[in-house]
Amino acid sequence: MDWDGIGVDNTVSVVSTEPFKEIKKIQVGYNPGRIRADNYGHVYVATRGKDISAGDYNFVQIDTRTDEVKQIYDEKVMNFAINDQLAYLYNFNYTTQDSQIKVFNLQTGTTLREDFITDETEINTPYGIYVNPYSGNIYITDAYNYLVRGDVLCFNPQGKLIYRLTNIGQNPNTVVFSDKDTQSGNDDPDTPQAAAFANKVLEYRPAPTQFMNTTATAYKEGFTYQQVLEYATELLSDRNVCLLSLGAFGGYITVGFDHTVPNISGEYDFKIYGNAAYDIYGTNEDKPGGSAEPGIVLVSKDTNGNGLPDDEWYELAGSEYNSPSTIRNYEITYYRPELPGDNVQWTDNQGGQGEIKRNDFNTQDSYYPQWIEEDRITFSGSRLADNAVNEPRPDMPEHWVGYCYAWGYADNHPNDTEYSKFKIDWAVDKNGNPVHLDGIDFVKIYTAVNQDCGWTGEISTEIQAVEDLHYNK
C-alpha cells in the first residue's frame, strides 16, 4: 500500500538463503500481491495496479531458471491457489461488488472454466483461496461486507459445495491443513435460541457513511424506506451475516422483541452484538482499544400495548453519562451532495462543520441515503468525546485505535466480553433520574461519536443482533 505517497512497488525480490540477502529484483507490475510456485519451475504473481479499486490486475508468470518474467496473462485476479497444473483465480469488482472464480490451466495458459462453482453456491466477497494438498478440495473464505464474522466453504474439484464453516471470524483469509486427525467440540455450547433475539426493525435511519446504499445499510437499488425496513428485518434474522451500520453521529436503529425482556435486578438483561475487536498489537495507553465505535442505548416498554415504539424512552446511563466531556443536546445536520462522488457536508449546533469523506474502498455514487427525499437530515442526542487515536506503527503511519469506554455502550467491546451486556437497571429519564422498569420491548441505539479517522473513515456504530439474556431461563 502507498502509505507514504511514494508510489506502489512493482517488483518481486529474489533472495539467497545462504547468506540471506536479496540478489535481484524482478519487475512484475504495480502492486504485486499473492505469490505462489508451481511444481514446474515457475512462480506466479497477482499484480493489482496503482489503484486497487480500478481493477487493473494481471497474472504474471516468472521463470525461476532465468529469474525473468516469462508471461503476463490479462487475467483479472486478486488472489489464487495452485494445484499441480491448475490455478483457481478469483477477482472482486469493488464498483459492482461482483466476484468471479475461474479455473486456469497453467500449462496451456488458457481458461478451463469461467465459473469454478457449478452448484449455484453464492459467495459474497471472496477473501482467501486455498487447495488442500491431501485431498485436492478447494477452500474459499467469504468476508461478506468485511464487517461480520465470515465463513469458510469447502468445494470438491468439480465445484460442488461439500460443507460450510460459518461465523468463524472477521475477514477470514488463511486456511492451513494437516494430515493428522483432530477432535473438535462445540466451542459455543450456549448457542442461544433464535426466539431470544429481537426480530423486527421498527426504525432505521443511518447517518451518512461509507457503507451507505449497500447491504450494510439494508439497501438495494431503487428501495423505498419501507423496503429498507423490511430488508433490515430480514438481515436481523440471521446474526451470523447481519451487520447494520448506523453511520456517523446520530444514525439510529430501533428493534423490537416478540416478548417482553424482563428486568432481573442485579443481572445483565440483554446483549447487543456488534463488531468491536481489541487491537492485535495492543495499545499505547493502559486500557483496551481497537475498533470500538460506541453507540448510546435507550430502552422502552410497550406501555400502551400497540406494538409501536411510541412510548417514553429511557437512556441507559453508561460510564460516560456524567462525564464533563459528554455534550448533551448535540445536534448535527447532513447535506445531500450536489454531485455523485462528492463528500457529505455537515454542520452542528456547536458551530462546527466538516465532511463525511469518501475513500477508495467504497466507491458507490453517494454516502447519503438514496431512499430519502429530503436534501438534509438532522440528528440529535448526547455526543461522547472522540475515542479514536492514531498510533502509528513502523509499517503503518496511520494506525487508528478506537479506545473502549468502560461500559454501557453498543459496539464498544468485543461480543465475547461482559461489556457487550446491558442492565435495564441503568435506565434514567430525560432529567437523569433513575427509573425502574420491570421489562422492555424495544431497544434503540445511535452512534454517539462524531469523529473522522483518516483512511478508515468515520466512527459508525454497527449492530449485529440484540439478545434477551433471560429467555427460557
Q: Please report the domains of the chain, with CATH numbers, ordered by start residue.
A: 11-170 (2.130.10.10), 200-468 (no CATH)
pLDDT number for residue 300: 98
Minimum mean pLDDT range among 146-155, 202-211, 378-387, 462-471: 146-155
- 177 Cα distance to chain centroid: 26
pTM of the model: 0.70
Residues 6+ apart with CB under 8 A from 213: 219, 364, 365, 366, 367, 369, 370
Residue 462's pLDDT band (boundaries 50, 70, 90)?
very high
Could you give the C-alpha distances from 364 to 33, 85, 214, 337, in angstroms and in order?
25, 38, 8, 13
pLDDT number for residue 120: 82
pLDDT number for residue 256: 98
* The three grid cell numbers given for residue 241, joined into one nine-digit string: 451475516
E runs forming strands in 375-438: 376-383, 388-390, 400-403, 421-422, 427-428
pLDDT number for residue 192: 66
| Rounded (10°) CA dihedral 69, 74, 80, 83 | -70
What integer best gives the mean pLDDT of the chain? Answer: 90
pLDDT number for residue 4: 46
- Does the pLDDT of residue 316 top 50, yes or no? yes
pLDDT number for residue 327: 98
